[in-house]
Structure 1
């Protein structure tokens, strides 16, 4: 099993697990590897140190020296990009779990719900920028939200 550190052209960093280098290259060639945050398929490997599992060994460090302190965030604004990515993916999955996908009929269904012609419920789907602006002009609250395909699947 190969565990690779990957990133997309938007700078999102994530991990991918592949059975071999050939498996990774094949999936990359077929655009099957995508960023879990933005669905970008332009993926590249990051430099990473290999992990070699050579069996359990006793640590050889000198226990008389104190361990280095763990880094602690100095304020609420000290959030890593990895934390932000995880929060975004979690939010995307919550939206997916709690909305009904109405596909390209989003604008029509949003109007039906707004006018009481359809059951009140949370929906998601596809709308053009023009349709979105028309809905907003009609007083129908909508929020454009990019939900990557990877968020719609269970990560293995």
Structure 2
């Protein structure tokens, strides 16, 4: 595995892991590497600082004091973009019904008036989402993967 610092044409910086340097090159050439902030596909490697381990006999450097527990929770958003995505996710999950992998069928039923009108979210394959859009069913890709819930 290799980690690259990346940036998009809009100036957003983010990191991503790839199976190998060749895997990154292949995905980038196919336009499949997208910005984690805006979704743009014009992404390139940014200048990175190499990780170099100190010599075994190097003097021990004291670690900085630990921040309070509240500020080092992994679940806390680190940037304004992450905070906005977290808020979007919270609102969608609070105000919509999760229909899981039945999303395409349920969205079609709602569109045809066979099911009650309501906001839903779930999972659909790319071909299912494309078919829904071609049929005039309003769908949108979410910038996150839904938590698995029971229907």
- The aligned counterpart of 2:12 is 12
Matched, 1:147 2:142: yes
- What is aligned with 2:30? 30
What are the Cα deviations for residues 107-156 of structure 1, in whole angstroms up to 9, with x where unaligned? x94795xxxx73253236887xxx99xxxxxxxxxxx97734xx2389xx
Q: Counterparts of 1:24 and 1:99 in 2: how far apart (Å)?
A: 34
Structure 1 unaligned blocks of 5 or more: 71-81, 133-143
1:23 Cα deviation from its structure 2 partner = 1.7
* TM score, norm. by length of structure 1: 0.50
1:109 and 1:27 mapped to 2: Cα distance? 37
**2:116 alignment partner in structure 1:** 119
Post-superposition CA distance 1:13-70 (Å, at most 9, x none): 2111123222211111122211223321111111121112457765246x9xxx79x9
Unaligned runs of 5+ in 2: 68-77, 122-128
Secondary structure at 2:142 match in 1: coil
Q: State the SS of the aligned residue for 2:79.
A: helix
Structure 2 length-normalised TM: 0.51
Which residue of structure 2 lines up, in the alignment, with residue 59 of structure 1?
60
Matched residue, 1:21: 21
Where 1:152 maps in the other structure, the secondary structure is: coil
Distance 1:92 1:23, change over 3 A: farther
* 1:86-125 alignment runs, 5 A limit: 86-94=82-90, 95=92, 99=98, 101=103, 109=110, 112=113, 118-123=115-120
Cα distance change, pair 93–58 in 1 and its aligned pair in 2 (3 A): farther
